[in-house]
Amino acid sequence: MQVFVQLIAMWHFGLIALATIGLFGGGYLANRKLRQFWAWAKNSEAPKERVVVFLPLNLLVGLLIGGFVQTVYEAGSMCSQYQRPLVPCTLHVLTRA
């Protein structure tokens, strides 16, 4: 339970989180359109999954991943601002939280 609380504490919302939401949502929709085109080109059956179910799931996964990437970015930019070695300092900041 304590590990779960620490993971939640590491999550931040920012521009990178918003960008990953867009990437995951747009990626899913583009992949679906590509599969529909491929099915049309091969004269086979189009994909039948419901966008209403899978799009919010992809957006949620994008939000979760983006929040953790946002945290790593913020830690790295802080280390870069203080001119510390990037990887060791970022790992130190992340494990300290």
pLDDT tens string 32-90: 999 999 999 999 998 888 999 999 999 999 999 999 999 889 888 888 888 888 888 88
Spatial neighbors of 59 by CB under 8 A, at least 6 apart, are 21, 24, 25
Number of domains in the chain: 1
pTM for this predicted structure:
0.79
Distances (CA, A) of 57 to 25, 38, 61, 90: 9, 24, 6, 30
Distance separating alpha carbons of residues 50 and 33, to the nearest angstrom: 13
Give me the helix-helix angle, 51-81 and 86-96, nearest 10°. 110
pLDDT of residue 92: 86
Residues in contact with 67: Cβ distance below 8 Å, sequence separation at least 6, in sequence order: 11, 12, 13, 17
Range of the domain at 54: 2-96
